[in-house]
Structure 1
Amino acid sequence: MATKTAKFHHYVPQFMLRRFAKERRPGKYFANVFDKSNGRTFPANVDSIFGETHFNRVETSSGVVSVEDNMTSIESAAAPIIDRILSEISFKSVSESDFATLCIFVALQMNRGTGARNVLEDMINQLRGRIAEIVGEDNLPDEIKDASSENEKKKMGIVTSLDDLQEYAKTFAAKDCRLMIAPDGHEFIIGDNPVAITNSTPQDGLWSNLGLLCKGIEIYLPLSPKITLAFWCPTIADYITDNVKRFRLQAANMRERSVIIKAELAVTLTTLADDIDQRTDELENKHGKLLLETIELNEQNVKRQNALQVSHAERFLISKNADFDLPREMLRRDPRYVRGRRMQMT
């Protein structure tokens, strides 16, 4: 007998939500939820949050189509791999095939949900506005007009979430993968659009620096209140390596000069060289930690990760211990955090 497809479709799977929730009754997990739109907090069963009824079901010319089972199969394949990673706090037992499955899951998680769909809708509206400026609202092509219907927007969202998953997964697989550990007394939160993307490399003119192939790109997904999965551009570690070499050379050059100049200046140069070496030792120590598969974070690192969840979340956040001081502060300082990120068409 065929398995009946659920009506409520989660865009963040329950196996992840349960880790940020507490088991109040056998098999019943309740999470502390924060609503960015009104600042309200409330407890909710993970069965009924971070999802919508028939979210992955759409009407087509051939009838009603649902891709919920497709997404569930990807989740089911990834769940035991993530369980193993969290249990061992390591990738040591993750095979090449397992890692490919994990990357596909992260790619799916990045492109599904209300956040991804609203970004797509916003881009379509910007495109519609640009075209309307040229040809007039009444002369818009039918495909642009049709794209405004709820069913068409849902259809495009579903196609986008599943399109080119293998290619996205290959991009993730080419990154440096790390596990980031929160210190005692601090925890990660998770939002309804949990794959957070950032980049510390300066933006190049008009071009965005948040593309998956951009130099310096960082991608994060909280797996539990204590562990976040990270994918880093390999140039991040390379950048530190290059700086260590450059600073060591500067210190060596200063010591060479101190031998042939006046004594007073020689002391100054030697002191500067010692200071550069000390700072380079600290940088090299940091670099060594970045090369480890697990990285222990400090309080500020955790705050940065949680701030990314706040800025990416379309509406809802979960904290296992109901600590929502950070999102409240961010919203107080900048009301634009009330929704997730948007792309601006240039």
Structure 2
Amino acid sequence: MTEDLKLTTEVKKQHTVPRFLLDNFGFEKGGKAKKLYTYDKQSERSYIQSVYDASTRNSFYNLENHPDKHSLEPILGEIESEASSAIRKVIEEESLSSLTNDERIQLAVFVVIQKARTYHGLQSIKALVTGLGDRLLNMGAKPEDLPNLIGSQDHSDLKNFFLETVLKHADHAEHILNKSWILYKTSEKDPYYISDNPVTLHNDVDMGFWGNLGLAVRGIQIHLPISSRLTLAFVCPSHEQRALQAREQLQFIVDHDISQFIHVKNPKMIVDYANAFKKGEAFITTSDNTKFLNSLQVRFAEQYIFCEEDRFGLVKQMIEADDSYRTGLRPTVN
């Protein structure tokens, strides 16, 4: 990253999800920029907009009341630039096999920064501070004591605190690098969504009170859609181990008791899934797999979901079933 990078910007409309990434979910409809179908979870309406306008907030990365008018926008632009060529390579080759170590590092940094930099991240900090304040008041604290106990609840102070933490998340890139990487591919008839909070986490391991959605916890699955057809996933190595064991068991049956082969459900998928980990080949997701990945985008989205087609039936179904999906996940204070 350039050491003498200018930390101010004239850009007012700032993307919380990079435009180069949103382009991969757009379609041509005249004009200079691609278009996106957009679904607003709060108003429950869909519409077409330019990628120039999608997932933007005015002066979002500019520090409040800073004497030198510093902004994170130039630094984030550098991180995007470094990762964009690696993402373009993955899309063109539909494979992870040729990524260099440097490109993997660039992608890992991009993922953890993208997870931290969204409007959802700011809203989560506000919700956490508010929840802590309410909890302390219920325990007998006085309102005038809260600034000393939990810090300022002023919008400008909370926003600056949020911005100060964004770049610190680069330290978490090692958690991405230590994961097993896999590339998912969907069919043209089932495009992937991307949202205004596109890095999603899922875990089938129940860890009770402690929660199970940390970057380093056992069983975690981290996803980032990079085009309408491709999703990058960084998963706990236990998933790869199970995939390789399943392929070994299949090979054992073939070598020692082929009569049992008829009892194996979808042997091709077993082989393809293991190869996706070992060779970097894209693993084709079923319609149900794609629906699940898209449901994570709905669940994590703060407000907006984007698609190359006007296909938001899943979003509507999820909101109808659970009204909390109108916003992103919120931290809770017990």
Match 1:307 to one of 268, 285, 295: 295
CA contact (8 A) 1:310 1:337 kept: yes
CA contact (8 A) 1:22 1:320 kept: yes
CA contact (8 A) 2:247 2:274 kept: no
Aligned: 1:93 with 2:81: no
CA contact (8 A) 2:40 2:303 kept: yes
CA–CA separation in structure 2 for the residues paired with 1:186 and 1:280: 21
CA contact (8 A) 2:132 2:150 kept: no
CA–CA separation in structure 2 for the residues paired with 1:4 and 1:139: 37
Q: Which residue is 2:304 aligned to? A: 316
Match 2:145 to one of 140, 147, 158: 140
Q: Which residue is 2:85 aligned to? A: 80
Going by fraction, where is strand more abundant, 1 or 2?
1
Q: Note the residue ranges of structure 1 that are not aligned, 5 or more in a row.
A: 252-269
- Write out per-residue CA displacement over residues 58-102 of structure 1, whole angstroms, 9 at most, x where no aligned residue: 225645321111111111111111111111112233211111011
Structure 1 or 2, whichever has the larger Rg, is 1
Q: Which residue is 1:225 aligned to? A: 228
Task: Judge which range, 282-291 or 206-215, deviates more.
Answer: 282-291
CA contact (8 A) 1:9 1:53 kept: yes
Aligned to 1:121, what secondary structure does the other structure show?
helix
CA contact (8 A) 1:30 1:43 kept: yes
How much does 1:27 deviate? 2.1
CA contact (8 A) 1:5 1:69 kept: no
CA–CA separation in structure 2 for the residues paired with 1:305 and 1:184: 15
In structure 2, relative to structure 1, the CA distance for the partners of 1:216 and 1:154 (3 Å cut) is: same
- Write out per-residue CA displacement over residues 156-205 of structure 1, whole angstroms, 9 at most, x where no aligned residue: 2212221131x21111011111110002411101110000100112x123
CA–CA separation in structure 2 for the residues paired with 1:236 and 1:215: 10
Q: Which residue is 1:17 aligned to? A: 22
Q: Which residue is 1:159 aligned to? A: 164
CA–CA separation in structure 1 for the residues paired with 2:130 and 2:234: 31
Aligned to 2:208, what secondary structure does the other structure show?
coil
In structure 2, relative to structure 1, the CA distance for the partners of 1:61 and 1:36 (3 Å cut) is: closer
Give, as a single letter, the amino acid of the residue that structure 1 aligns with 2:89.
R
CA contact (8 A) 1:132 1:140 kept: no
Q: Could you tell me the percent identity over the aligned residues?
A: 24
How much does 1:239 deviate? 3.5
Aligned to 2:210, what secondary structure does the other structure show?
coil
In structure 2, relative to structure 1, the CA distance for the partners of 1:242 and 1:343 (3 Å cut) is: farther
Aligned: 1:214 with 2:217: yes
Q: Which residue is 1:263 aligned to? A: none
Q: Which residue is 1:254 aligned to? A: none
CA–CA separation in structure 2 for the residues paired with 1:111 and 1:224: 20
How much does 1:142 deviate? 2.5
CA–CA separation in structure 2 for the residues paired with 1:119 and 1:82: 28
- Write out per-residue CA displacement over residues 136-161 of structure 1, whole angstroms, 9 at most, x where no aligned residue: 23342425575311101211221222
CA contact (8 A) 1:222 1:229 kept: yes
Q: Which residue is 1:174 aligned to? A: 178
Q: Note the residue ranges of structure 2 that are not aligned, 5 or more in a row.
A: 1-5
Task: Judge which range, 16-25 or 135-144, deviates more.
Answer: 135-144
In structure 2, relative to structure 1, the CA distance for the partners of 1:73 and 1:281 (3 Å cut) is: closer
In structure 2, relative to structure 1, the CA distance for the partners of 1:45 and 1:184 (3 Å cut) is: closer
Q: Which residue is 1:129 aligned to? A: 134
Give, as a single letter, the amino acid of the residue that structure 2 aligns with 1:231.
F
Task: Judge which range, 156-165 or 79-88, deviates more.
Answer: 156-165
**Any residues of structure 2 matched to 1:57-72 within 5 Å, and which?**
57-60=62-65, 62-72=67-77
Q: TM-score, normalised by structure 2?
A: 0.87
Q: Which residue is 1:183 aligned to? A: 187
CA contact (8 A) 2:247 2:271 kept: no
CA contact (8 A) 1:244 1:280 kept: no
How much does 1:129 deviate? 1.9
What is the Cα-based RMSD across aligned positions, in Å?
2.7
Aligned: 1:296 with 2:301: no
CA–CA separation in structure 1 for the residues paired with 2:196 and 2:11: 19
Q: Which residue is 1:343 aligned to? A: 331
CA contact (8 A) 1:247 1:276 kept: no
Q: Which residue is 2:154 aligned to? A: 149
CA contact (8 A) 1:196 1:312 kept: yes
CA–CA separation in structure 1 for the residues paired with 2:186 and 2:148: 48
Give, as a single letter, the amino acid of the residue that structure 2 aligns with 1:171.
H
CA contact (8 A) 1:244 1:283 kept: no
Aligned: 1:326 with 2:314: yes
Q: TM-score, normalised by structure 1?
A: 0.84
Q: Which residue is 1:192 aligned to? A: 196
How many residues of Structure 1 are paired with residues of Structure 2 in the alignment? 323
Aligned: 1:115 with 2:98: no
CA contact (8 A) 2:116 2:166 kept: yes
Give, as a single letter, the amino acid of the residue that structure 1 aligns with 2:203.
N
